[in-house]
Amino acid sequence: MPSKPEAFVVHSLKGRLRLKLPALRNNKDKLTKIASALEAIENIKKITINPQTGSILIEYDGSPQAFWKNIRELDVFEIKKLDEVAVRSHVHSLFKKADEKVKESSHYRLDLASSVGLACIAVGLYQLLRGKTDLPVWHAAFWYAFNFLKK
């Protein structure tokens, strides 16, 4: 695999591990390849993939320490720490809440991304009207606006 996908530990109990690989959501082929690679680890009892959620459930025998050592040595994905998952999840929920507030206040005519895109256009126009054409601020603002609005 050219680049390793990020794998987040959803839960881990002795003998059972669920990983979430958001980048591989709805990608059955890549999840199947990873599952095939994981089957090379000894003491694996069962591997179940769920392409719709981008998750892999691994059931294994033996000590968790040996299992984790084997997972890291296999090196098919990058395991993220639980605190990184918590921070990412918290930031994601903050943006979801902000997006919902923007939608509600605009009677569902705007969302957060389009609002930020429009704000970037406003900043770019403001810089141009002030005659600040020698600095790339207006150009960057328009670039960001384009990227927010094209999604």
> If we measure between CA atoms, which residue out of 16, 79, 73 comes closest to residue 48?
16
Query: Domain spans of the chain?
Result: 6-80, 86-149
Percent of the chain predicted with pLDDT > 70: 85
Beta strands 6-13 and 78-80 are parallel
Least confident of 10-14, 50-54, 79-83, 127-131: 79-83
Say which range, 72-76, 110-114, 126-130, has the weakest mean pLDDT.
Answer: 126-130
**Overall average pLDDT of the 4-27 stretch:** 89
| pLDDT-based confidence at residue 33 (cuts at 50, 70, 90) | very high
- Per-residue pLDDT, averaged over 32-44, amounts to 92
- Output the DSSP codes for 61-111: -S-HHHHHHHHHHH-SSEEEPHHHHHHHHHHHHHHHHHHHHHHHHTTTS--
Residue 141 has pLDDT above 80, yes or no: no
Name the fold adopted by 6-80. Alpha-Beta Plaits (3.30.70)
Across residues 124-139, what is the average pLDDT? Answer: 75
Contact 35, 56 (CB under 8 A): yes
Torsional sign, CA 34, 37, 42, 44: positive
List Cα–Cα distances, 62 to 13, 18, 56, 65, in angstroms. Answer: 12, 17, 19, 9
Q: Has residue 126 got a pLDDT over 50?
A: yes
In contact, 71 and 34? CB cutoff 8 Å: no
